[in-house]
Structure 1
Amino acid sequence: MGAAILAVLLWQVGAAPFVTALTEVTWWALLAALAITVLTTVCAAWRWSTVATGLGVRIGLPAAVAAYYRSQFLNSVLPGGVLGDVHRAVRHGHDVHRMGRGVRSVVWERILGQVVQVVLTVVLLLVLPSPVHALVVIAVVGVVVVGLGFALVRVSGVLLDDLRRILRVPGAPVGIVLTSGVAVLGHVTVFLVAMFAAGMEVSAGRGVALALALIVLLGAAIPASLAGWGPREGVAAWAFEAAGLGAAAGVSVAVLYGVLALVAALPGALLLVTPRLRQPRLRSLRCELPLGREPRSEVTPR
């Protein structure tokens, strides 16, 4: 699907917006993206650490940050845009010898982060005086879909028990909302940096730039991309055209944002290839068991 969207964009706007975006990459934009991504990664890693603690497969913040950087890099270079999270989930489950809970900790971390992002997007789009209020309909649909998803989750006793465990961690509800909000605003800031680097002059007072950033990032979360590319550029083309800025401009900014995000995730590549950093020490429920006892495996031997 990601490749199909890119093909349609190439047919509609040509290759010029893609080439233009590559020529507009500047050192200050790259450095800004690297610095901002440190903050967003720490926030997301803290959220994961909190969720994992609630599920009894605790991971320390330094190890969580390293694992999150690796997952971001893999998401940026592998199809689908979620294989890095799959790698993070399976690896954590293996390290703590609780594969089911280890994987569910990543699933819940991503779900909770996306819920906060959708809600924050809807609220800000309803408040911002911008010419893209028609796009709020799409955001509201996203909220409805998420709500239905949680209704289905309640059918499963295991998942409902997971959610209760997570929310019982001291400070978890407020912490998850705050860290997720900071992470979203960090990604929005990187998108605004991309707009500025591309020479876009949008009135910040009217909220156009912020509204466009929120909508494009919501589209970027669709797990149907080609290493992060496709839905993001498609939504950007549509949103910028709706705002009267032109589809080509939207594609250029989205591509430039993609380049900045890829460079900002490069520390994850270093963590993948550096042997000394490849196996971070993870603290889990196993460390809390008395000597001589091993955690019960969730996998039934054949």
Structure 2
Amino acid sequence: MGVLAALVWRVGTAPFLAGLRLIDAPALTAALAIGALTTVCCAWRWSLVAGGLGVRLPLGTAVAHCYRAVFLNSTLPGGVLGDVHRAVRHGRDAGDVARGVRAVVWERTAGQLVQLVIALVVLAALPSPVRPHLPALLAGLAVVAAGVALAAAALPRCGASRLARVTRTAVADVRAGLLARRTWLGVATASAVVVAGHLATFVVAARTAGVDAPLSRLLPLTLLALLAMGLPANVAGFGPREGVAAWAFAAAGLTAAQGVAAATVYGALVLVASLPGAAVLVCRRPPSRLSGDCRWSRLR
């Protein structure tokens, strides 16, 4: 809320409202189509990871869960409550809540790591406000990675202590759920398609908001805004994304108002793309009445 309040004080409400007024049918159609693709890829990634951890998750069920999660993430504070819901619900349905939660944690972690790698490559290749600071950022990330690796190596893997059990479980999860031959390529491919889908949706939003900057200039700014979305400090998806977009667009020679308008349109398009998740929430029937239009109701 603080970020949004600061933006309204700085640029006013005009960029928010102007962007929303410019949304048209082609933009909504593109958002729905891209959203369907990214949701299926997220579900595929989740199904692969869950299968690697020994928790059965059919793709159709995963798609329904993911649509519902995207809708909840887009309408509730924090941006992660939908993922928490699908993790716990799938764990209960599978009879192993702990393993169900770990499957979601690992598949989300894999997606964030792939997005970070893609972002670093694009930010290094194309001009952006952070490009001059990229060497220092990469050095910092290398130090952090080395610290994590050393800490992981120092963790006990033998014995009956709780820390040793957690370490063994984490190592086994990564090997079976992410790095196994039957999962790693699918997880990486699905994650890359999801990132590309988010980028495409943001580009559609920027064009809808009237931003005519070339893609080589727009993509790095888009990635910075998308990275900010990973912060669980938003209100129905809005907050850090708009703040970073305003700063990045202004620092790149555009205007803060354009950044706010593009990010606002993106949020609206994502909400529209998540509306099938609302149908999943509404379409509920008892387990004995699964036939008919509400087949996804088996998720309860």
Task: Mark the CA change 1:153 to 1:105 in structure 2 (over 3 Å): closer, same or farther.
Answer: farther
Q: How much does 1:220 deviate?
A: 1.1
The superposition leaves residues 4-50 of structure 1 with CA deviations (integer Å, 9 ceiling, x where unpaired) of: 11011111111111111111111110000000111111111111001
Query: C-alpha displacement at 1:148, in angstroms?
Result: 6.8
The DSSP-based 3-state class of the residue aligned with 2:212 is coil
2:234 partner amino acid: S
Counterpart residue type for residue 80 of structure 2: V
Counterpart among 237, 240, 248 of residue 246 in structure 2: 237
Structure 1 residues 145-199: Cα deviation after superposition (integer angstroms, max 9, x where no partner): 9737954566422211111111454431111111101110011000000111111
CA distance in 2, matches of 1:180, 1:146: 23
Which ranges of structure 1 fall in alignment gaps of 5 or more residues?
A: 282-302
1:216 equivalenced with 2:216 (yes/no): no
- 1:134-153: CA deviations, max 9, x gaps? 47479748955973795456
Contact conserved, 2:205 with 2:265, CA < 8 A, in 1? Answer: yes
* Residue of structure 2 equivalent to 1:180: 191
Partner of 2:36: 38
TM-score, normalised to structure 2, is 0.86
> Structure 1 residues 153 and 9, CA, compared in 2 at 3 Å: closer, same or farther?
farther
Instruction: Please say which of residues 219-228 and 182-191 is displaced more in the overlay.
Output: 219-228
Distance 1:4 1:149 in 2: 33
> What is residue 201 of structure 1 aligned with on the other side?
212
Partner of 1:274: 283
Q: 1:147 to 1:267 in 2, by over 3 A?
A: farther
3-state SS in 1 of match to 2:77: coil
Mark the runs of 5 or more structure 2 residues left unpaired by the alignment: 156-166, 285-293
Aligned position for 2:290: none
Q: Residue 110 of structure 1 corresponds to which residue in structure 2? A: 108
Partner SS for 1:233: helix
Contact 2:249 2:255 (C-alpha < 8 Å) held by counterparts: yes
1:106-151 per-position Cα deviation (integer Å, ceiling 9, x unaligned) = 0111001000000110011111245652474797489559737954
* Partner secondary structure for residue 279 of structure 1: helix
Asked if structure 1 preserves the Cα contact closer than 8 Å seen for 2:69 and 2:86, the reply is yes
Aligned residue in 1 for 2:170: 159
Aligned match for 1:248, one of 238, 244, 257: 257
1: distance between equivalents of 2:135 and 2:236?
27
Q: Which residue of 2 aligns with 1:93?
A: 91
Distance 1:17 1:248 in 2: 5
Q: 2:288: which partner in 1? A: none
Measure, in 2, the Cα distance between the counterparts of 1:145 and 1:220: 24
Deviations 1:190-217 (A, max 9, x none): 000011111111123xx11111111111
Distance 1:262 1:222 in 2: 18
Partner in structure 2 of residue 23 of structure 1? 21
For these two proteins, the number of residue pairs brought into alignment is 277
User: Which residue of structure 1 aligns with residue 60 of structure 2?
Assistant: 62
- Residue 273 of structure 2 corresponds to residue 264 of structure 1: yes
In structure 2, the CA distance between the partners of 1:208 and 1:135, relative to structure 1 (3 Å rule), is farther
Answer whether contact 1:6 1:230 (CA < 8 A) is retained.
Answer: yes
What letter corresponds to residue 212 of structure 2 in structure 1? E
* Separation (CA, whole Å) in 1 of partners of 2:144 and 2:108: 12
Cα distance in 1 for residues equivalent to 2:204 and 2:143: 30
Mapped partners of 1:270, 1:138: distance in 2: 46
Q: What CA distance in whole angstroms lies between the structure 2 residues aligned with 1:145 and 1:268?
A: 40
Change in CA separation of 1:153 and 1:90 when aligned onto 2, cut-off 3 Å: farther
Are residues 279 and 194 of structure 1, via their aligned partners in 2, closer, same or farther at CA, if it must alter by over 3 Å?
same
Change (3 A) 1:73 1:238: same
RMSD value over aligned CA atoms?
A: 2.2
Q: Work out whether 1:127 is the aligned partner of 2:136.
A: no
Matched AA of 1:20: A
